[in-house]
Every structure is written in C-alpha cells, then in structure tokens.
Copies of this chain bind each other. A is one copy, B any other.
Amino acid sequence: MNDDITVPEGWEVVDGKLHRVVELADFSEAFAFMTRVALAAEKADHHPDWSNSWNKVTIDLVSHDADGLTARDAALAETINTLL
C-alpha cells in the first residue's frame, strides 16, 4: 500500500512514480549531478530508476518493495531538489 505522500515541488506522479526531468549545461555537469544523486541514494539505501542523455537526466522514484510510492520516495526527491 502506498504512503500518503506530498509530491515535492518540481516533481509529478507519472505511471505511479515520482518523475522529474533535469537539464544541465552539458554532460560533465549532468554526470556530476548524477554522482551527487548516487551518493544520496546509497546513503538512503533507496535508489532511482533514471536515465541520461548528454545534459538531460530523467529520474523516476518508486518503492519497488512496497509496489508504490512511500515516504522514502518523497524524502529522496526532496534531497535531490537540494542538489539543484
């Protein structure tokens, strides 16, 4: 069952996941941002489904073990927002 979460600013719910597309200046900036997300994700033990194409990073957050959105998704989304 899903937690009753508040969708963080800049994110929307798409296909049952918290979804955000981020555009940076170039690949270097995009991959540095991904590195910070990776550090935050590993610390939280909660990892994104994400993709990258050059300067664009697309992030989807969902709690696979809960088969839906939980407070862990909202918390990671909030943390990612602080990196932008």
Contacts and interface: CB of A to CB of B under 8 A. Distances in A.
Most chain B CB inside 10 Å of its own CB: which residue of A35, A41, A83: A35
Interface in A25-58: 27-29, 31-36, 38-43, 45, 47-54
Size band of the interface chain A makes with B: 20 to 34
B28 A40 contact: yes
Contact of A28 (B42, B53, B54): B42
A50 B31 CA distance: 12
A51 B54 contact: no
Given A28-B42, A39-B31, A52 B53 contact: no
Contact of A50 (B36, B40, B52): B52
